Amino acid sequence: MPAETATLSATDTPEFAPKPDGATAALVLADGTVLWGRGAGAEVTRVGEVCFNTAITGYQEILTDPSYAGQMVTFTFPHIGNVGANLEDVETTTPAACGAILRADITEPSNFRAVSHLDGWLKAHDLPALTGVDTRRLSRRIRDAGAPNAVLSHNAEGVFDLPALWNQAREWPGLEGMDLAKDVSCTQAYQWEETRWVLDSGYGRLGEPKFKVVAIDFGIKRNILRCLATLGCAVTVLPATATAEEVLSHKPDGVFLSNGPGDPAATGVYAVPMIQGVLAADVPVFGICLGHQMLALALGAKTKKMHLGHHGANHPIKDLTTQKVEITSQNHGFVVDKDSLPANVEATHFSLFDGTLAGIRVKDRPIFSVQYHPEASPGPQDSHYLFQRFVDLMAARKG
């Protein structure tokens, strides 16, 4: 059964198109557009912002990225679920994404690492999915009109209260002004010693640590922690609400500001004072994604909501310090305004897609950040040098 759509007028009593035979899930956009299809995963209803991701691999990694809190992911690649799911390719224990929108039905897994079917994995994590959708058409709609608010509802009996779903989508406030880091952050400090995955041997353990790093968890991905541990960093992870005094009490050689979801200005209400306190202590600082945005706010720059954001694993970024281009993984809906950088902060990276700012550094201090995810491997290792750059700054400061 192909998915069907109907665009509704913005009235209180819209005329909804009849549900196609066999439809067991619907995506209802705030503008009244309805996309019908087949349901997969959990039979639940979720509300959030609809974005699209252009990666052709790593769907389990994407769905468990805490930066997707408040969002449902449209996958432009059609064969989602073909390698099943496993216990290793997750970035957090509880997925924060609202759901998945797929072109084709989920197939039986065909990969030696698979331990479960993706449909079963979605059910286990209470995530709904909509299949049979023209994802190219939906992606063009997001590209042209921006990321919409919507409700995704899966009901095996095919029973839907469309007016109620439409009103729920319209009433959801959207990500701008929303602090979601508290929802996905850890609630107490913990230590991290697991290193990066190696074929046939899995994950390793940190041997003799060389550096003490405090990582602030605004929605941190596990592979970021693994990359730090692989380079000899004993990492202490602190909640998003940690104060500068709590951070500095661990006497770190460096401080890492993690990725995360939501509006950086909203999270910055409590995080920016912490970051400014850490900056005053003059320890090396490295930020990624939301951490990059909030570092910029702490330095005096501004952030803004993007039209549709960057979500994918094929984004070319130019490093102005090396003049090299790297293929990067990105997931963000806000960006630092490059025209707002203060005099002592310079741009180091730019997107070759749209020219947006993708990296900064303080000119005379060991402080830098990037907008993208160097722990991911689309290049496959184009951006791993950034972790080494952080380690080199800590080594120079210790020396």
Active site residues: 289, 373, 375
Residues 6+ away with beta carbon under 8 Å from 4: 17, 20, 23, 35, 36
d(CA 38, CA 27) in angstroms, rounded, equals 11
Strands 303-319 and 25-29 turn out to be unpaired
Quick one: tokens of 277? 């306190």
Contact, 194 vs 225, CB < 8 A?
A: yes
Q: How far apart are CA 355 and CA 94, in angstroms?
A: 34
Amino acid at 140: R
Residue 12: C-alpha distances to residues 31, 151, 166, 357 (Å): 12, 17, 10, 41
Cα–Cα distance between 191 and 115 in angstroms, integer?
Answer: 28
Q: Which distant-in-sequence residues (6+ apart) come within 8 Å of 118 by Cβ? A: 59, 60, 80, 81, 84, 85, 106, 109
Contact 311, 351 (CB under 8 A): no
